[in-house]
Amino acid sequence: MALGVYGDAVLLGVVEGLTEFIPVSSTGHLLLGNVLLGFEGPPGHTFEIAVQLGAILAILWVYRAKLFGVALGLASEPADRRFARNVILAFLPALVLGFTLHGFIKGVLFNPWVVSVALIAGGVAILWIERNLPQPRVHEIDQIGPLMALKIGACQVVAMIPGVSRSGATIMGALLLGVDRKTATEFSFFLAIPTMLGATVYDLYKNRALLGAEDFNVIAVGFAAAFVSALLVVRTVVGFVARHGFAPFAWYRIALGTVALGLLIAYR
């Protein structure tokens, strides 16, 4: 692979880290970035999935004290058990449907046309949800009940369509169910850990016969770039949404999706 591939991997890794935890679709940005850069990375769209682990490592680092405390308190603290239960239950819908629909998602939905339309539709949905929010009644993750956790997980499944945004679907679903902004945003962070870890491990396993040493080098470069850039976002996004809400992200999605769709139509 040419040296330019590694430069593209760095750029795409930065894009991944900056967009994974805000409701604008990191996968959608990576797919559109691939088209713009002419990126020819590892086969099977494995790079777009595996590079997300860099962003997940940023979550593990920023919330290491919280996660370590939960692990220590599972045997004795009811709040820690509820926290772990909620994350596991919310992960289950993605686990089941991701395993079942993996081939269809990667083979049919991973294309810039789907991404462009999903960006616009998701932006419109966020604006509607922001204007029709119920009064929040859940202010901590361990206050989420089992059924609500499953419902949030079901909302996350919609993000299997590239361009929808995993964090966006999770956060918007939680807001509609009565979770406040801060808690919904942080829950989407923690839910990303098993979801993206599971998706990456499964995708690498499915494509193991197609990947060579150079492919793993490219993934590693993107992984590192995603980790560094995600650290910047994770530390600031909760405060930003508390002050400004999610409408700025919605308008950005609509603008980006419209431009991308226009370019696709013009150059098809």
This prediction's pTM: 0.87
C-alpha closest to that of 249 among 113, 110, 130: 130
- What DSSP character marks residue 38? T
The answer to whether residue 13 scores a pLDDT higher than 90 is yes
Q: Is 165 left (phi over 0), alpha (psi -120 to 50) or beta?
A: left
What is the arithmetic mean of pLDDT over 200-210? 81
Please report the pLDDT score of residue 206 as a whole number. 81
Confidence (pLDDT) at 58: 92
pLDDT band per the 50, 70, 90 thresholds, residue 48: confident
- Classify residue 246 by its DSSP letter: S
Q: Residue 5 has what pLDDT?
A: 84
Say whether pLDDT at 75 is over 90. no
Q: How confident is the model at residue 109 (pLDDT cuts 50, 70, 90)?
A: confident
Residue 41 pLDDT > 80, yes or no? no
**Taking 60 as the threshold, does the pLDDT of residue 1 lie above it?**
no
Structure tokens, 180: 């406040």
Tell me the DSSP string of 112-180.
HHHHHHHHHHHHHHHHHHHHTPPPP-B-SGGG--HHHHHHHHHHHHGGGSTTS-HHHHHHHHHHHTTB-
pLDDT in tens, 178-196: 999 989 999 999 999 999 8
pLDDT (tens digit, 9 = 90+) per residue, 81-97? 999 999 999 999 998 98
Q: Which domain holds residue 150?
A: 3-37+44-267
pLDDT of residue 3: 52
CB 159 within 8 A of CB 114: no
Q: Identify which has the larger pLDDT, 208 or 23.
A: 23
Please write the tens of the pLDDT for every residue from 232-263.
888 788 788 878 889 999 999 999 999 999 98
Count how many domains the chain has: 1
Lowest mean pLDDT of 1-5, 114-118, 121-125, 180-184, name the range.
1-5
Looking at residue 259, what is its pLDDT? Answer: 94
Q: Which residue has the higher pLDDT, 267 or 106?
A: 267
Question: What mean pLDDT is predicted for residues 169-173?
Answer: 95
The confidence score (pLDDT) of residue 108 equals 78
